[in-house]
A and B are shown apart, each in its own frame.
Chain A
Amino acid sequence: MNNIIIAWRNLWRNKRRTLITVASVFFGVLFSTVMTSMQEGSYSSMVDNVVKFYSGYIQVHSEDYWENKTINNTFEPTDSLIDKISQVKEVIHFTPRLESFALASSEEITKGVMVLGVDPVKESQVTGIEKWIEKGRYLNPGDKGILVGIDLAKYLQLDLNDTIVLLSQGYHGISAAGKYPIAGILNFPSPELNRQTLYMELSNCQDFYSAYNLLTSLVIMVKNQYDLPDAMKELRNEISSPFSVMSWNEMQPELVQMIEADRAGGVFMKALLYMIIGFGILGTIMMMISERRREMGVMVAIGMQRFKLGNIIFFETLFIGFLGVLVGFLGSIPIIGYYYNNPIRLPADAAEIMIEMGIEPLLYFSWMPSVFYNQVITIFVITALIAIYPVYKSRTMKVNLALRA
């Protein structure tokens, strides 16, 4: 009879033992998948906070801008530049921005803010900003009103239709001052944006800074991060001095470093988790082998070759591993699916700390396929490695002792 068929049959001749061993693999997959999903979800949320709400995946600047972010390092978008960007197939939207700083004042309170002059229609396509309006309305082309982050409005003690006073330095040192009515209040998922951003219609902003027809950046969106390398390659081929093309991870090295540092810590934690899972599975397999020692001894005594016995037990362990990862995978889908749609809200104290750090106080879960298949493959490989143990035991077993086990 085929070794594989014998192995499969053996599994179901002792259901209890098989189910206990499968359960140890199941919990291993479940824990590691949920943990990885939570980890990757938090990274995605951090990247989304930056990329989708603010920086976009790619930006085109004047080549000196990134080193010296002043209103003087602006550029005038030429038709040829716009054409080159439009022709890159990975680019789905792009929007012009004029971005600088100003002092924002209400009656008695002043705060430094980030001012973003945006094209209301294109900005909405790129960052979906319109959906974060908490109160009031979104901007219209030629609008004189402004949008402020909810925490900034609270800080300045301003509400809808109140007037905010902005004071800054405009293009080439020209004084910039103006009074603007608050048309809407924004509530982003990012506490940092809520605290310090102020949106104006682009021409209104250019007028405020006396930077007519000038931009600090063209913000470009691609479909997802997997399209980023190709889009970057093509844009860099097409666009050269006096412009520069930068990806989000070049613009946000701190975020990349933070994620990488966290991932490195995560690797240690995951290694620890895999060790616990691995030893759990090994313990169960050792128990199984100990329980079956006499059976194995009898088989070899009456004529089964050790390598054949080893093969059968190897296949049994692999089947256990396969069943464990399969049910672990199926079990983790509803859990991760639920938390993907309903992120865990941190308790009040922890939430406050997170907000102060500029991080959303929610634990997001990732739904990326790699979260599942990486864990499934890893645990299966661990189980396959553990399957060497019974093979080794069957090879080195002393038959006369096994018969008395």
Chain B
Amino acid sequence: MPVRQDWKVYRNVRTLNKSNKMSIIEINNLTKIYDGSEVEVIAVNGIDLSFDKGEFAAIVGPSGSGKTTFLNLLGGLDRPTSGEVIVDGVNIWNLKSRKLIDFRMNNIGFVFQSYNLIPVLTAKENVEFVMHLQGRPKAERYKRTRELMESVGLADRLNSRPAKLSGGQQQRVAVARALASKPKFILADEPTANLDSKSTENLLDIMENLNKDENITFIFSTHDARVVKKARRVITIEDGKVVWDEKR
């Protein structure tokens, strides 16, 4: 078990991963500075990391450490001040706005802390939505929606609106939605933060099974010890820097 004081050693994990042919995400010197009215805030401070296909990685750190900002930069939701995010050889921050949105649609799945399902759509429609955007045929959409809803244990709630589902059920629908576009990786920002222990357990099992069975890459930020326990890689961020990167 590495000790915290030796964090600099573990920054070099990046170098190790760079040589790995399976790496799907390369992050180089990623920095995000917010210009406050009086003082600028460095939310992400020169992070270098890489992720391999099939990783089940947790980003941990105290509140305000920069976990969410880091995931937003990684997912193309927030523009970095400097640095690059390379997904399968594409620097996503070199893409124009429209291309970036298309890139997100086809390559990245999102699971948000507060589920963020579209309230006017049913569970089935939420899952189908991204496939609509991708222009997939109706039959394929229907089949995949059924499969995904079954895989998250909600085949009987296809026509329920989010408001009629529990928090755990909504988050499972969100996972199904994130998988619908067949993304290269899924980013989950504190996916269990609003869930009770049973729902958390359930959701983690689903995510872990999808990761193991279908080799889907999950990168999630969390405070939750149960989630950290399941992760096979734990990256600790403090003050916008990676201070710990442990592979299990």
Contacts and interface: CB of A to CB of B under 8 A. Distances in A.
B116 interface: yes
Contact of A301 (B98, B104, B117): B104
A396 to B, nearest CB: 11
A399 B112 CA distance: 13
Report the 3 A-B pairs with minimum CB-CB distance, sorted nearest first.
A303-B105, A13-B120, A400-B78
B77 A399 contact: yes
Interface string B54-89: 000000000000000000100101100000000000
B77 A400 contact: yes
A295 B134 contact: no
A282 to B, nearest CB: 22
B119 A300 contact: no
B203 to A, nearest CB: 19
B116 A305 contact: no
Interface stretch (B2-10, B20-28, B125-133, B143-151): B125-133
B101 interface: yes
Given A303-B181, A306-B101, A298 B118 contact: yes
A403 B112 contact: yes
A303 B118 contact: no
Contacts of B129: 299, 302
Contacts of A399: 77-78
Interface of A: 1, 9-10, 13-14, 294-295, 297-306, 398-400, 403
Contacts, number: 58
Contacts of B119: 13-14, 295
Contacts of B120: 9-10, 13-14, 295
Nearest to B119: A295
Contact of A295 (B77, B105, B118, B130): B118
Contacts of B104: 301-303
Q: For chain A, what secondary structure do more than half of its interface residues adopt (helix, strand, loop), or is it mixed? A: helix
Determine which residue in A10, A13, A298 has the highest number of CB atoms from chain B within 10 A of its CB, and name it.
A298
Given A299-B129, A300-B101, A302-B110, 10 more contacts: A13-B121, A298-B118, A301-B75, A302-B129, A302-B181, A305-B98, A398-B78, A400-B77, A400-B78, A403-B77
B106 interface: yes
A298 B132 CA distance: 15
Contacts of B130: 302-303
A304 B78 contact: no
Determine which residue in A10, A295, A303 has the highest number of CB atoms from chain B within 10 A of its CB, and name it.
A303
17 contacts: A1-B132, A13-B120, A295-B119, A295-B120, A298-B116, A298-B118, A299-B118, A302-B130, A302-B133, A303-B102, A303-B104, A303-B133, A303-B181, A306-B101, A398-B78, A400-B77, A403-B112
Nearest to B181: A303
A403 B102 CA distance: 18
A304 B130 CA distance: 8
A297 B119 CA distance: 13
A304 B134 CA distance: 9
A10 B132 CA distance: 15
Determine which residue in B75, B102, B129 has the highest number of CB atoms from chain A within 10 A of its CB, and name it.
B129
B101 A403 contact: no
Determine which residue in B78, B97, B118 has the highest number of CB atoms from chain A within 10 A of its CB, and name it.
B118
B116 A304 contact: no
B177 interface: yes
Contacts of A304: 101, 105, 133
Nearest to A10: B120
Contacts of A297: 116
